[in-house]
């Protein structure tokens, strides 16, 4: 929702003199302005880190310093060039996870360790030393048979299971830990980054001329204090030449001050970055580390920039590009036909990730040749992480299955919050619905055109002068009455509450924040102010728990005037976006609670905003009701607080296409509740694109249409009756499948499985699926291949699974797998296939909103496997409260089909929930015509069921079993 240029242009509208400027903007606004954002070369620490080439690591493990505690093993590492000692900590965590932490043994100041992301201190396994020799040490990591081999010199670690090497750490010698140091005033420290690269080149030249020059020793001598701290018995090794890059770190220009464009970053703590490499033998496919506008499978970064993780408000982002976007999750997955593995790099500072591969660029034939000649290396992917500050804190998630890895990640950072049911319905948004009449008219449109809709959204213009928590008195004079009118139709509303607060002494929120000292501070101690929607704005310090508690209290009905229990929240611009700041965000030397620099925790800010807002919604209901908060920025753990979306996309086919890999990557990183603005935020979609986007969006977890202020209206009925009917059909499909979606979300909430998954998660051994990102699974039962091509006549759908079958949900036609199926499409087609062997629950009485469908009867779609079996489940509760958790008020039903009998039983006897809902219909796909069908209730006599059988498609429809959905029963086909 980048609105700055527009704001300016609006002013320009009234002042012809500014028209030229606006025209200039117009030209610049067509695509992302890359010069606003740093490349690795322009980011001092990334340049320093990346300047370090693979080679012999200067670090040595002091094996004799090993201390084996009840939880962790600790030993020292020393950089033989600087002699600064580091502390290496190793944990074997329950559930196949190894944690590695490296920090300074004696830091002159504390270094930032990321709080509030791990859900708990993970339970540990007992470690044991299982082997030891001259230069190495072997640790057993618990009962799973994993062992860690620590090599003394150069320091490296190898993680093995049995004889198989899973992962090596620092195998390429790229551990680079910039210890804290005192400032030395020298010329080079003041060279800004813009001339840094030049300086670098000059120096490199100089170096080549005088190879014997030991600048590192000079540096070390100047840091005598640290040297003494590092004093060990190994001083004899000093003669060994340190690697060039490590040595240069002490000399690197821009280490104590860095300038980008007009912004200077005073770096009072100097260079503080950390970097480390991981080698993954046997892996050719890596995924994750959202948010990037990128294919599902990550590409190698050699020859370009690394993937960047730094939450930024990027205006009109480009596709297939490693640039940073609004959110960051430093979690990467590697997958092969044999196993899946994850690396979680717990660091909230600006982070860059380099990916390289020894097979990149090789053709399949080339790989085959290597293999046949026996000389080929094992395929291997190397991943290198580089962060600007903090410590090395990394979790190796050893799987071995995809579900195990996502489960392990969820055990660390939490699972997806179970959304209130309404949030899975359709959301109608626009920047902006102008006033109460406008809202009423749009709502009426949904009624008149029979398009279900759960939520109407209000963007920034609803507030009084962008003062969040208020309403524009002329446009929204009676918000409560408006909300009540919507609530009478069982609909909700979301209003935007951004974290930039207008600096205005007449604004209560600002006055309280200022008087309580709750704003982020500048390096000089004043309140940090920047330019954002309201003009001059200050930024509440969400890292301060007291501030968060205060913020949460603002959502009480008497604090947020005009709010009701059907009003929910959208946190936008929480990267944070600062129009006047470097890279449109906050200065890195701004100061947070506890004295931490913004640099240390930048990527965490957005998570805290959503956390505090969600907490506010819980509190306002006395802890009863589940919150709904949408956030643009995120970090590892944000899944615990609500939904996220892919930000300000564009009404173009390529943007529709990329919404799939983007949300798949979000899901792998724990963020299941993902969506993209349906229709595209910028520009005007043509009708065909809009229809296709609705069809695709209906099968993505978060389903919201949204549009820029400058776009033409595009509510579903504005493109002619034919298109309205197509959109209506798409939205109705979504509503009919809500029980299935809700159950998938419950599974995600319980087990950390993504709701929307890559095919390889369900078919991990099928290498053909590894790079597919134009189709995907919803939970384990539905395969979706939305039409994302203009003028498409058909799509190629890959159906995975040897010996499996799939049923087209529209025609019920059965297809054998594996195969690539050509599916002809019309404008009404949304290719979706139900996997043979699954049961999908639906509610086919689609109504105006989810709340209206509560208690409606269910239909079960039983798709038989070639073996004549199927299973599936259904989760059901009140859809809005925490009672499922606190009072076990829920139903989790299991449906199993085997031996011509469909059986309903409890999947979880702990839960119970009273519902009038009953079983309306059973549709069995892939079965012959029975002579009779008998219903056997748990208590009561057998009864016969009426049925219909379509011989052509082998579909059997059982009429009105009528049993309550919570009951146990069996249906027998005879």
Active site residues: 572, 648
Q: Is 450 in the site for another protein (CB under 8 A)?
A: yes
Q: Is 968 in the site for another protein (CB under 8 A)?
A: no
Beta carbon of residue 425, minimum distance to another protein (angstroms, whole number): 14
Contacts with another protein, 914-933, as mask; x by CB under 8 A: x-xxx-xx------------
Cα(111)–Cα(301) distance, integer angstroms: 29
How many CA atoms, within 13 angstroms, populate the side-chain half-sphere of residue 609? 32
Identity of the residue, 299 or 936, whose beta carbon is nearer to another protein in the bound complex: 936
Among 264, 434, 881, 906, binds another protein (CB under 8 A): 434
Q: Is 123 in the site for another protein (CB under 8 A)?
A: no
**Judged by CB under 8 A, which stretch of 81-89, 431-439, 748-756, 757-765 contacts another protein?**
431-439
Beta carbon of residue 325, minimum distance to another protein (angstroms, whole number): 22
Q: What are phi and psi of 415, to 5 degrees?
A: -105, 175
Q: How far apart are the first and last CA of the chain?
A: 59
Q: Which parts of 526-555 interact with another protein (CB under 8 A)? A: none
Q: In whole angstroms, how far apart are CA 364 and each of 376, 377, 379, 382, 465?
A: 13, 14, 12, 20, 59
The CA-based dihedral angle spanning residues 194, 196, 197, 203, taken in that order and rounded to the nearest 10 degrees: 160
- Identify whether the C-beta of residue 503 lies closer than 8 Å to the C-beta of residue 580: no
Cα(760)–Cα(779) distance, integer angstroms: 12
Among 255, 269, 711, 834, binds another protein (CB under 8 A): 711
Among 9, 601, 805, 864, binds another protein (CB under 8 A): 9
Q: Is 854 in the site for another protein (CB under 8 A)?
A: yes
Q: Is 182 in the site for another protein (CB under 8 A)?
A: no
What sign does the dihedral 820-825-831-836 (CA atoms) show? negative
Q: Is 436 in the site for another protein (CB under 8 A)?
A: no
Q: Is 845 in the site for another protein (CB under 8 A)?
A: yes
Q: Is 265 in the site for another protein (CB under 8 A)?
A: no
Identity of the residue, 398 or 463, whose beta carbon is nearer to another protein in the bound complex: 463
Beta carbon of residue 446, minimum distance to another protein (angstroms, whole number): 12
Q: Who contacts 412 (Cβ-Cβ below 8 Å, separation ≥6)?
A: 97, 118, 119, 122, 344, 395
**Judged by CB under 8 A, which stretch of 225-233, 257-265, 432-440, 745-753 contacts another protein?**
432-440
Q: Is 946 in the site for another protein (CB under 8 A)?
A: yes
Secondary structure of the chain: what % helix, strand, coil (to 5)? 25, 25, 45
- Identify whether the C-beta of residue 726 lies closer than 8 Å to the C-beta of residue 827: yes
Q: Is 26 in the site for another protein (CB under 8 A)?
A: yes
Q: Is 6 in the site for another protein (CB under 8 A)?
A: yes
Among 150, 191, 759, 853, binds another protein (CB under 8 A): 853
Identity of the residue, 299 or 921, whose beta carbon is nearer to another protein in the bound complex: 921
Identity of the residue, 207 or 490, whose beta carbon is nearer to another protein in the bound complex: 490
Q: Is 940 in the site for another protein (CB under 8 A)?
A: yes
Cα(266)–Cα(257) distance, integer angstroms: 5
- The residue count of the chain comes to 974
Q: Is 852 in the site for another protein (CB under 8 A)?
A: yes
Among residues 51, 507, 32, 595, the alpha carbon closest in space to that of 273 is found at: 51
| Angle formed by the axes of helices 193-209 and 44-51, nearest 10° | 20
Cα(727)–Cα(524) distance, integer angstroms: 55
Among 53, 943, 950, 974, binds another protein (CB under 8 A): 943
The CA-based dihedral angle spanning residues 760, 766, 767, 771, taken in that order and rounded to the nearest 10 degrees: -30
Strands (E), 69-163: 72-79, 85-93, 97-104, 128-133, 136-140, 146-151, 156-161
Alpha-helix runs per DSSP H in 471-533: 479-488, 508-515
Identity of the residue, 315 or 542, whose beta carbon is nearer to another protein in the bound complex: 315
Cα(640)–Cα(841) distance, integer angstroms: 26
Among 183, 261, 516, 944, binds another protein (CB under 8 A): 944
- Identify whether the C-beta of residue 831 lies closer than 8 Å to the C-beta of residue 787: yes
**Judged by CB under 8 A, which stretch of 742-750, 761-769, 862-870, 961-969 contacts another protein?**
961-969
Q: Who contacts 958 (Cβ-Cβ below 8 Å, separation ≥6)?
A: 921, 922, 923, 924, 933, 945, 946, 947, 971
Helix (H, G, I), strand (E, B) or coil at 57: coil
Beta carbon of residue 683, minimum distance to another protein (angstroms, whole number): 9
DSSP annotation of 131: E
Contacts with another protein, 673-702, as mask; x by CB under 8 A: ------------------------------
Identity of the residue, 214 or 937, whose beta carbon is nearer to another protein in the bound complex: 937
Beta carbon of residue 847, minimum distance to another protein (angstroms, whole number): 5
Write the burial class of residue 471 (CB in 10 Å: 0-12 exposed, 13-18 middle, 19+ buried): buried
Q: Is 445 in the site for another protein (CB under 8 A)?
A: no
Helix (H, G, I), strand (E, B) or coil at 579: coil
**Judged by CB under 8 A, which stretch of 2-10, 305-313, 571-579, 589-597 contacts another protein?**
2-10
Q: Is 29 in the site for another protein (CB under 8 A)?
A: yes
Identity of the residue, 29 or 618, whose beta carbon is nearer to another protein in the bound complex: 29
Q: Is 462 in the site for another protein (CB under 8 A)?
A: no
Identity of the residue, 149 or 736, whose beta carbon is nearer to another protein in the bound complex: 736
User: How many contiguous H segments (helices) and E segments (strands) does the chain have?
Assistant: 23, 50
**Judged by CB under 8 A, which stretch of 11-19, 312-320, 738-746, 815-823 contacts another protein?**
11-19
Q: Is 12 in the site for another protein (CB under 8 A)?
A: yes
Q: What is the number of other CB atoms lying within 10 angstroms of the CB of residue 558? A: 7
Contacts with another protein, 483-502, as mask; x by CB under 8 A: -----xxx------------
**Judged by CB under 8 A, which stretch of 95-103, 230-238, 498-506, 849-857 contacts another protein?**
849-857
Cα(567)–Cα(439) distance, integer angstroms: 14
Among 496, 805, 945, 973, binds another protein (CB under 8 A): 945
Helix (H, G, I), strand (E, B) or coil at 507: coil
**3-state SS record for 587-620:** CCCCECHHHCEHHHHHHHHHHHHHHHHHHHHHHH
Beta carbon of residue 432, minimum distance to another protein (angstroms, whole number): 10
DSSP annotation of 43: S
Identity of the residue, 165 or 924, whose beta carbon is nearer to another protein in the bound complex: 924
Contacts with another protein, 78-97, as mask; x by CB under 8 A: --------------------
Q: Is 100 in the site for another protein (CB under 8 A)?
A: no
Strands (E), 419-534: 426-428, 455-458, 492-496, 501-502, 529-532
**Judged by CB under 8 A, which stretch of 18-26, 264-272, 353-361, 875-883 contacts another protein?**
18-26
Beta carbon of residue 448, minimum distance to another protein (angstroms, whole number): 11
Beta carbon of residue 848, minimum distance to another protein (angstroms, whole number): 7
**Judged by CB under 8 A, which stretch of 522-530, 640-648, 768-776, 958-966 contacts another protein?**
958-966
Cα(871)–Cα(838) distance, integer angstroms: 5
Among 190, 508, 959, 974, binds another protein (CB under 8 A): 959
Identity of the residue, 622 or 941, whose beta carbon is nearer to another protein in the bound complex: 941
Please report, as ranges, the residues that interact with another protein according to CB under 8 A: 6, 9-10, 12-14, 16, 22, 25-26, 29, 434, 437-438, 450, 474, 488-490, 709-713, 844-848, 851-857, 914, 916-918, 920-921, 935, 937, 940-941, 943-946, 959-964, 967
């Amino acid at each position: 929702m980048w609105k700055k240029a527009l704001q300016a242009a609006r002013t320009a509208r009234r002042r012809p003199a500014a028209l030229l400027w606006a025209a200039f903007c117009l030209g610049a606004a067509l695509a992302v302005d890359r010069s606003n954002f740093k490349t690795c070369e322009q980011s001092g620490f990334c340049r320093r880190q990346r300047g370090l080439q693979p080679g012999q690591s200067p670090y040595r493990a002091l094996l004799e310093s090993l201390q084996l505690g009840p939880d962790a093993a600790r030993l020292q590492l020393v950089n033989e060039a600087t002699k600064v000692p580091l502390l290496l900590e190793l944990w074997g965590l329950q559930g196949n996870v190894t944690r590695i932490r490296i920090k300074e043994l004696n830091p002159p100041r504390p270094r930032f360790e990321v709080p509030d992301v791990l859900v708990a201190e993970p339970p540990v396994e007992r470690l044991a030393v299982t082997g030891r020799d001259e230069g190495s040490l072997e640790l057993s990591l618990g009962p799973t048979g994993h062992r860690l081999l620590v090599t003394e010199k150069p320091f490296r670690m190898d993680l093995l299971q049995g004889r198989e090497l899973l992962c090596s750490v620092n195998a390429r010698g790229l551990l680079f830990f910039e210890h804290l140091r005192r400032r030395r005033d020298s010329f080079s420290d003041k060279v800004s980054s813009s001339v840094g690269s030049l300086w670098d080149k000059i120096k490199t030249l100089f170096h080549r001329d005088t190879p014997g020059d030991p600048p590192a020793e000079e540096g070390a001598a100047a840091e005598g204090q640290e040297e003494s701290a590092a004093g060990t018995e190994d001083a004899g090794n000093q003669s060994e030449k340190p690697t060039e890059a490590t040595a240069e770190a002490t000399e690197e220009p821009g280490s104590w001050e860095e300038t980008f464009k007009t912004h200077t970053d005073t770096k009072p703590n100097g260079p503080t970055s950390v970097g480390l490499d991981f080698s993954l033998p046997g892996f050719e496919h890596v995924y994750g580390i959202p948010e990037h506008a990128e294919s599902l499978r990550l590409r190698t970064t050699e020859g370009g920039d690394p993937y960047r993780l730094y939450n930024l408000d990027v205006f009109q982002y480009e596709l297939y590009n490693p640039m940073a976007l609004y959110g960051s999750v430093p979690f990467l997955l590697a997958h092969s036909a044999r196993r899946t593995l994850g690396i979680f790099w717990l660091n909230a500072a600006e982070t860059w990730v380099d990916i390289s591969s020894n097979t990149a660029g090789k053709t399949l034939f080339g790989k085959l040749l290597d293999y046949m000649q026996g000389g080929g290396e094992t395929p291997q992917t190397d991943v290198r992480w580089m962060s600007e500050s903090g410590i090395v804190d990394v979790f190796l998630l050893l799987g071995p299955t995809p579900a195990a890895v996502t489960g392990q990640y969820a055990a660390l950072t939490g699972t997806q919050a179970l959304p209130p049911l309404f949030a899975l319905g359709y959301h109608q948004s626009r920047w902006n619905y102008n006033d109460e009449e406008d809202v009423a008219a749009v709502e009426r449109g949904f009624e008149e055109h029979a398009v279900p809709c759960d939520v109407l959204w209000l963007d920034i213009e609803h507030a009084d002068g962008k003062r969040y928590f208020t309403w524009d008195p002329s446009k929204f004079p009676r918000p409560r009455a408006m909300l009540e009118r919507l609530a009478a139709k069982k609909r909700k509303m979301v209003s935007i509450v951004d974290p930039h607060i207008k600096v205005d002494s007449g604004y209560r929120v600002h006055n309280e924040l200022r008087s309580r000292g709750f704003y982020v501070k500048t390096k000089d101690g004043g309140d940090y102010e920047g330019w954002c929607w309201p003009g001059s704005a200050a930024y509440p310090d969400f890292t301060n728990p007291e501030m968060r508690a205060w913020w949460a209290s603002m959502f009480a009905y008497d604090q947020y005037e005009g709010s009701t229990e059907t009003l929910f929240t959208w946190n936008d611009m929480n990267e944070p976006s600062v129009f006047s700041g470097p890279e449109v965000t906050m200065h890195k030397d701004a100061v947070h609670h506890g004295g931490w620099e913004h640099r240390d925790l930048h990527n965490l800010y957005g998570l805290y905003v959503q956390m505090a807002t969600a907490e506010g919604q819980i509190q306002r209901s006395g802890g009863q009701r589940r919150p709904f908060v949408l956030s643009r920025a995120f970090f590892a753990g944000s899944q615990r607080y609500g939904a996220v979306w892919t930000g300000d996309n564009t009404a173009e086919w390529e943007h529709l296409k990329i919404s799939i890999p983007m949300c798949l990557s979000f899901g792998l990183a724990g963020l299941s509740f993902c969506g993209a603005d349906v229709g595209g935020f910028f520009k005007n979609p043509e009708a065909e694109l809009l229809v296709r986007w609705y069809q695709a969006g209906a099968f993505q977890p978060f389903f919201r249409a949204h549009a820029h202020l400058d776009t033409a209206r595009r509510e579903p009925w504005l493109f002619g009756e034919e298109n309205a009917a197509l959109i209506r059909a798409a939205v109705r499909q979504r509503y009919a499948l809500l029980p299935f979606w809700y159950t998938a979300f419950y599974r995600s909430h319980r087990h950390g499985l993504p709701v929307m998954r890559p095919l390889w998660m369900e078919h991990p051994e099928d290498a053909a699926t590894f790079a597919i990102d134009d189709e995907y699974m919803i939970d384990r039962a539905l395969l979706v291949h939305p039409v994302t091509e203009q003028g498409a006549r058909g799509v190629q759908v890959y159906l995975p699974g040897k010996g499996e079958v799939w049923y087209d949900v529209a025609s019920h036609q059965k297809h054998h797998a594996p195969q690539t199926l050509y599916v002809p499409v019309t404008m009404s087609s949304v290719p979706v296939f139900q996997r043979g062997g699954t049961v999908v629950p639906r509610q086919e009485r689609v109504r105006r909103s989810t709340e209206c469908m509560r208690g409606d009867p269910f239909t079960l779609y039983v798709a038989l496997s070639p073996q004549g079996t199927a299973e599936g489940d259904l989760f059901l509760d009140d859809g809005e409260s925490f009672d499922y958790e606190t009072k076990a008020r829920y139903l989790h039903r299991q449906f199993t089909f085997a031996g011509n009998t469909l059986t309903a039983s409890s999947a979880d006897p702990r839960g119970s929930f009273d519902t009038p809902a009953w079983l309306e219909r059973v549709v069995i796909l892939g079965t012959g015509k029975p002579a009779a069908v008998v219903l056997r209730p748990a208590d009561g006599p057998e009864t016969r069921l009426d049925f219909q059988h379509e011989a052509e498609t082998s579909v059997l429809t059982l009429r009105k079993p009528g049993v309550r959905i919570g009951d146990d029963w069996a249906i027998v086909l005879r």
